Amino acid sequence: MEYKHSTKVVTSVEDTFAWHERKGAFRRLMPPWEEAEQVGELSSLENGTRLTFKVPMGPVSMKWIAEHSGYNPPHAFEDTMISGPFKKWHHVHSFVETEDGACRVDDHVEYTLPMGVLGRIFGSGNIKRRLKRMFRAREIRLVKDSKRFQDFAHMKKKKILIAGSSGLIGRQLIAFFDTVGHDVWRLVRKDPKGKQIFWKPSEGKINPKDLEGFDAVIHLGGAGIGDKRWTKKRKIVLEESRTKSTELLSSTLANLENKPEVFIVSSAIGVYGSRGDEELTESSTAGEGFLPDLCKSWELSAKPAIDAGIRTIHCRTGLVLDATGGALKKMLLPAQLGAGGPIGWGKQWYSWISMDDQVYAMNHVMMTEECEGVYNFSSPTPLRQKTFAKVLGKVLWRPSFMPVPPFGIWFLLGKMGVTLATDSAKVLPNRLIESGYEFEYSTLEPALRDALGKWND
């Protein structure tokens, strides 16, 4: 059996092949709803090298081991499955120059299903649908990434240090930076390997000499806001995991001989609190309550870097759409069961952003020297929760009218769940748009369809 797919991108054959050779390509090409994880790092695409990753199969996972061959840069490479779910799998990647000097990527897969005749009878149609869905997702991501690569292709690549690299945003951000060609390093709390630097913010441990010479430092760290109930102890953890680490990092950067050009720190639209129908921009005042106070302390912790003249940016992020984690993943099961309707009256505003726009916008503010200060990372079209639920139901082909009482959320998740589900924040990304950033997804439905692989055709 075989499957063929072609993708036209704006980059040259050489640049497109180089993109595929970089370590971040695996994650960027993985469909955004798949939770497959790479085991180890891909050293190269050269003949004989192997890529190993885990593929979820219900409650268990299966290892897929692929060996590369046919390495002919910048024209082709191949991979053959050594171990995995297929009886046989051979994938040829070809890079063809088009008449306008751009590139067409041709994928040709030959495969054999396990279980012989039974496998062909019962699995053939399902596999073809999955392959079509997977390669369409790869095409969409590759086309988008190649266009964003062009935005700053004329500028010098940066040496970047990232804290919080293993989180939901960090994994995609690092992968994108790597495929663009930046030199990416990580701050880690375990024994450092390769391009890693050790720190332990809870104990104030960091070696300033290790931080010399970076062009950009990005801090995404902090305990998960929605991971556990907000007990008194948990609230302390949420605050200190953000403020102590940010203060340690910013004060260390401020005293370096070779300071970075830019320091980017995560924040959240929770700084505005619950404000009903009020339109909130970067010039709006902070709200009142636990989340606003947490965010204010978080942002204030970066003051040493600001005082030292380092261009500092606070990314006030909204609800990030990612099917493998965060708020969207929590919404999926009830929505798929037809129980993802309005929470309360559903009139509260949800300010959301696609994962791709989160990543591309962070690259944009990092590379744009005029960007400094506070930026709202949310789409220009926030929606009321009941409308958000209706669109999600439409994408999933599920009803979305069954109301969810806040009491039920309180029972399951406590005050944390009620706050995150019922607070109303109509946030607008005015400064991001004024800086020249163009959103990949300004409306919800196409963003959800790509995140979930639920296209109309």
Dist CA 294 CA 297 (whole Å):
5
368 pLDDT band, cuts 50/70/90, is very high
Pairing of strands 216-219, 196-200: unpaired
SS3 sequence of 392-450: HHHHHCCCCCCCECHHHHHHHHHHHHHHHHHCCCEECCHHHHHCCCCCCCCCHHHHHHH
Dist CA 18 CA 180 (whole Å):
9
Under a CB-based contact definition with an 8 Å cutoff, are residues 336 and 323 in contact?
no
Q: Looking at residue 349, what is its pLDDT? A: 95
Is residue 134 scored above 90 in pLDDT? yes
Is residue 165 scored above 80 in pLDDT? yes
Phi, psi of 33 (to 5 degrees): -95, -5
Q: Which residues of 373-384 are buried (b: 16+ CB within 10 A; e: fewer)?
A: ebbbbbbbebbb
Is residue 56 scored above 80 in pLDDT? no
Type of residue numbered 38: Q
CA 279 → CA 194, 196, 329, distances in Å? Answer: 46, 41, 27
With a CB cutoff of 8 Å and minimum separation 6, the contacts of 381 are: 442, 443, 444
What single DSSP character describes residue 33?
Answer: T
**Residue pointed to by tokens 């061959």:** 69
Dist CA 354 CA 297 (whole Å):
26
The end-to-end CA distance of the chain, in Å, is 23
Quick one: average pLDDT of 52-79?
Answer: 89
Type of residue numbered 407: F
Burial of 151: CB neighbours in 10 Å, binned 0-12, 13-18, 19+: middle
Angle at CA 241, nearest 5°, toward 274 and 312? 75
Domains and CATH numbers, the chain: 2-151 (3.30.530.20), 159-452 (3.40.50.720)
pLDDT tens by residue, 401-415: 777 766 555 545 555
Is residue 327 scored above 90 in pLDDT? no
Quick one: average pLDDT of 204-221?
Answer: 96
Q: Where are the alpha helices (DSSP H) in 87-223?
A: 116-151, 168-180
More confident residue, 56 or 167: 167
What single DSSP character describes residue 316?
Answer: E
Q: Identify the CA nearest to 456 among candidates 397, 372, 398, 377.
A: 397
Least confident of 214-223, 397-406, 448-457: 397-406
Distance, C-alpha 133 to centroid of its chain: 20
Is residue 383 scored above 80 in pLDDT? yes
Q: Looking at residue 422, what is its pLDDT? A: 78
Is residue 268 scored above 80 in pLDDT? yes
Strand partners, 163: 187, 219
Dist CA 426 CA 145 (whole Å):
29
Pairing of strands 88-97, 103-112: antiparallel
With a CB cutoff of 8 Å and minimum separation 6, the contacts of 87 are: 111, 112, 113, 114, 119
Pairing of strands 76-83, 60-72: antiparallel
In which element (H, E) is residue 270 found?
Answer: none
Dist CA 331 CA 326 (whole Å):
9
Residues of the chain above pLDDT 90, percent:
75
**Residue pointed to by tokens 């640049």:** 15
What single DSSP character describes residue 330?
Answer: H
What single DSSP character describes residue 302?
Answer: T
Phi, psi of 50 (to 5 degrees): -125, 150
Q: Looking at residue 207, what is its pLDDT? A: 97
Angle at CA 135, nearest 5°, toward 101 and 326? 115
Quick one: average pLDDT of 201-226?
Answer: 93
pLDDT tens by residue, 82-110: 998 899 999 999 999 999 999 999 999 99
Coil/strand/helix, residue 98: coil
Quick one: average pLDDT of 193-222?
Answer: 94
The model's pTM: 0.94
Distance, C-alpha 45 to centroid of its chain: 24
Under a CB-based contact definition with an 8 Å cutoff, are residues 113 and 123 in contact?
yes
Least confident of 154-163, 318-327, 408-417: 408-417
